[in-house]
């Protein structure tokens, strides 16, 4: 597998892990008594949004590992499109949820990129 493809898949996977952590945290905080399947109801809008963002940037030949502009674009698309999908699916959009989601996604999705950019050698 070419290095660029492997790198794109790894960044996609890391972003999906951020979204999964967000969903698991939400379930444990607000829907702990619900079935574990509720995680899928929480995660799918944001996971689909991550896929849309990565596909969009990859189609343009952009490096999705970069914090700025690509990481910021992926985070923004994940948040906005994820919220649209969540709303359309009938899940709530409480003000507190909107703030927590924005902060969590920004910190995790941009944070892992910032760490990776510091520890990986420049090419």
pLDDT at 14: 98
pLDDT at 122: 59
> Two tokens at 21?
């952590």
pLDDT along the chain (123 residues), means of 10: 90 98 84 79 96 96 94 98 96 93 98 92 59
Beta carbons within 8 Å of 13's beta carbon, 6+ residues apart: none
Per-domain boundaries in the chain: 3-119
Q: Measuring CA to CA, which residue among 109, 20, 115 is closest to residue 72?
A: 109
Rounded to whole angstroms, how far apart are CA atoms 66 and 108?
14
- Predicted TM-score (pTM) above 0.85: yes
Give the phi and the psi of residue 7 in degrees, each rounded to 5.
-65, -40
pLDDT at 75: 98
For residue 33, give the 3-state DSSP assignment. coil
Beta carbons within 8 Å of 60's beta carbon, 6+ residues apart: none
pLDDT at 121: 67
């Amino acid at each position: 597998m070419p290095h660029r493809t492997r790198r794109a898949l790894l960044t996609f996977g890391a972003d999906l892990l951020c979204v999964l952590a967000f969903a698991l945290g939400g379930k444990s905080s607000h829907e702990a008594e619900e079935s574990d399947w509720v995680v899928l109801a929480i995660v799918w809008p944001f996971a689909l949004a991550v896929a849309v963002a990565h596909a969009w940037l990859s189609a343009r030949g952009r490096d999705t590992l970069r914090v700025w502009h690509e990481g910021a674009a992926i985070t923004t698309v994940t948040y906005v499109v994820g919220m649209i999908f969540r709303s359309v699916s009938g899940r709530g959009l409480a003000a507190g949820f909107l703030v927590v989601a924005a902060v969590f996604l920004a910190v995790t999705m941009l944070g892992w990129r910032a760490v990776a950019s510091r520890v990986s050698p420049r090419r």
